Amino acid sequence: MFHLVRHEDGDVMNDFETIIVRAEQCNDMSELKQLHDEVAFLLSSFSISFSCIFEVYDALCMCHDTLMKQALLLAEREVDRKGIGKKPSSFCWFVMGSSGRKEPTVWTDQDNGVIFSCLRSEKEDCYVYMREYARIGVLFLNEIGYPYCTGYVMATNKRWLKETDDWGEQIDKYVQNEHIDDIRYLSMLVDMRPIYGEYSLVIQLKETLYKKIATTFSLRNRMIDSIRIPFVPIGPFGRVYVERWGENSGMIDIKQGGYVQLNHMLKWVAVQKQFIDAHSTFERLTRWYDENGCSQRLFERIEEALETFLYFRLRCSVKGNNLVVRHLSKEEKQRLKRALTVAKKVQHYARKWV
């Protein structure tokens, strides 16, 4: 399934595989929550290295996917038992954000949506069923350790729960309006990844989305702004700028300070190149390189920077705080500086690459 580093207590891979198998057979919400807690404990019990970080995220993503799928299966059974509305012929739950990119942290919140297909004459009754399913599904996910999204990017929000034709109309509006919020919604949808139900519904919607964005040239400046605006906290001589005051004194926000710039650049490259099935930032980088979009040297520099940002993101997630620069080892400080420098370069050349 996947391979992780070893520690003195044995092979961590077996521990994660065991959690996945138990989750697939679980019919109890409290046990699913316990398994989620075990994932967090496992990640805090072994030493994560830069070199294995992509494997760690793959394993973590598989655990999250399995836990969420099982919760949504139990939610579906509950709605069916209630007999509310009309069950559509097909539906699919999808995740967005870091979960959509297969780069979730330990305690990731919910960023999800639903698409469904049905006969036109049954649409109203199917919406009744799916709204109840969304309510119970989001509730169950929260119960097993996936907090409600503070921005309300969840299937319980009518913006993120739609029938196939309604989704098509909604995307058309986002592309045509080009309001700042519409660009934000498009950016979220670009990362959509199916996790439960009829995957082809999400894949088809994603294909439509990518084509419409790529062929709307006026959106390009908006894409570039999403890369160039966020501040990268490094000076011209390699000095890392940390927060000077307050509870975050001496820290940097690793997500907004470097990861976002790489993520957004490669996200929009994926859209322009129609890399529909490249979900993670590293998958998008690899496809870009394979199709001669960048040199080997640039690929290696971005790869190392991405490893660095993902490593620190996961470490901060386990410890529950932002990155304290003065606590880093000499090697870690050097890696951080190189990564921030690459993020700065990505900002500078965004218009050339996107």
Number of domains in the chain: 2
If asked whether residues 207 and 60 sit together in one domain, one would say yes
If asked whether residues 60 and 191 sit together in one domain, one would say yes
Task: Note the pLDDT tens digit of each residue in 33-83.
Answer: 999 999 999 888 877 889 899 999 999 999 999 999 999 999 999 999 999
What's the DSSP call for residue 245? S
Task: Note the pLDDT tens digit of each residue in 241-253.
Answer: 888 888 878 888 9
Task: Note the pLDDT tens digit of each residue in 330-347.
Answer: 999 999 999 999 999 999
More confident residue, 294 or 2: 294
Answer whether residue 261 is part of any domain. Answer: yes
Distance CA 333, CA 354 (A): 30
pLDDT interval class at 12 (50, 70, 90): low
Cα–Cα–Cα angle for 73, 79, 81, rounded to 5 degrees: 105
If asked whether residues 80 and 208 sit together in one domain, one would say yes
Answer whether residue 270 is part of any domain. Answer: yes
| CB neighbourhood size of 318 (10 A) | 17
pLDDT at site 6: 44
Answer whether residue 45 is part of any domain. Answer: no
pLDDT at site 354: 84
Answer whether residue 21 is part of any domain. Answer: no
Distance CA 265, CA 220 (A): 11
The structure tokens listed for 100 are 């959509």
**Comparing C-alpha atoms, which of 266, 341, 279 is closest to residue 308?**
341
**Comparing C-alpha atoms, which of 292, 287, 283, 291 is closest to residue 310?**
283
If asked whether residues 266 and 289 sit together in one domain, one would say yes
Report the chain's terminal Cα–Cα distance, integer Å: 34
pLDDT at site 320: 66
If asked whether residues 111 and 204 sit together in one domain, one would say yes
The CATH number covering residue 112 comes to: 3.30.460.10
If asked whether residues 153 and 92 sit together in one domain, one would say yes
Q: What is the CA radius of gyration of the chain?
A: 21
Of 190, 215, 240, the one marking the end of a domain is 215
pLDDT at site 5: 44
If asked whether residues 244 and 178 sit together in one domain, one would say no
Answer whether residue 225 is part of any domain. Answer: yes
If asked whether residues 146 and 271 sit together in one domain, one would say no
- The residue assigned the tokens 């129609």 is 274
pLDDT interval class at 15 (50, 70, 90): confident
Residue 4 has pLDDT above 70, yes or no: no
pLDDT at site 187: 95
Q: Which domain holds residue 308?
A: 221-353
pLDDT at site 48: 82
If asked whether residues 202 and 231 sit together in one domain, one would say no
pLDDT interval class at 223 (50, 70, 90): confident
The structure tokens listed for 134 are 């969304």
If asked whether residues 93 and 188 sit together in one domain, one would say yes
% the chain with pLDDT above 70? 96
Residues 13-19, mean pLDDT to the nearest whole number: 86
Is the CB of residue 262 less than 8 Å from the CB of residue 305? yes
pLDDT at site 189: 97
pLDDT at site 80: 97
pLDDT at site 8: 41
If asked whether residues 205 and 235 sit together in one domain, one would say no
Of 171, 200, 215, the one marking the end of a domain is 215
More confident residue, 2 or 284: 284
Answer whether residue 88 is part of any domain. Answer: yes
More confident residue, 42 or 119: 119
If asked whether residues 64 and 203 sit together in one domain, one would say yes
Of 165, 190, 215, the one marking the end of a domain is 215
Answer whether residue 20 is part of any domain. Answer: no
Answer whether residue 14 is part of any domain. Answer: no
- The residue assigned the tokens 């509950």 is 78
Alpha-helical (H) ranges within the chain are 12-24, 29-45, 53-82, 97-100, 123-143, 164-177, 180-190, 199-214, 220-228, 254, 260-273, 281-290, 296-319, 330-348, 350-353
Q: Average pLDDT of the chain? A: 92
